[in-house]
Structure 1
């Protein structure tokens, strides 16, 4: 090797080292610039968004609503809760009917339950009727129905079978028997396969 070749190789090595240093400095400057820009953009963001992780690469700019407070007990909003509530209702109903607690419902228990339910419905009807009958004559006039029972007022002419301008308890019961029977028939007609 000639001294010129040696000098040339040393020069090339020196230039490569300088290039590498320059590249390193450039890379360091670029990384510093990017880090500074990132720090500035984070500082410019609202405080609630700084702690929120990005969603699909996007940092939210509006505050998310706080989570709802925990509730005590089931909310019956999903199928499992609804099934649990239905199971509880059926168990309580079965226990109310099965008076001798043998795990079976016989005819006598069923008949007694039906009588008690009918008596409860009649008592409720009588209580509402007496509350609506302001003058105590045993009938509901059009004004009494309008003031206390909007559904009866809406169907007053249909309920008043003898067209005497007042509703007797028998007329109201008869109307509701027909009304619910017609609804059952309509439901059965729409649900038949």
Structure 2
């Protein structure tokens, strides 16, 4: 599964999470003076099934992320570590909520708090994964240049980087070699953006 599809699924995931979050407030948070906008049974069904779809999509995304970790080295950047910690924490919160609702009713009062926490962390997870991808991909030129400035200066001056002209294949080999020196410093998406930016810079140099 590519980054684009996972990011789209992440948007859908947040959508179901928002529905679940809203219906929870409608069911539990309204005062007697303010009647609910919808029938209680309809709200319960919306809440229940949006939760099920949320868990299903989360499981699908998690499965393909695990497959990606198996096939590619883990991203040990701060963003990658935060991503992993959030992805491990959210299922624990969801499982705790389900157990409180279905089996251990003595903890039922904590279910709402667990649901809120899971949704809040899901938003944060989206920000460092799907949201990060969208920010990285659009517009490509600006983000690619910023990545070159932030990543490549670890080992080189910008003057050196921007003064070299290579083909796309040449930059692919160079960036891959540089990325291998510090595992996790440059992710797969970032490599693509850096290469595109460097190829454009090389093209501009040839035209001068």
Using the size of structure 1 for normalisation, the TM-score is 0.24
Larger Cα-atom Rg: 1
Higher share of residues assigned helix: 2
Using the size of structure 2 for normalisation, the TM-score is 0.23
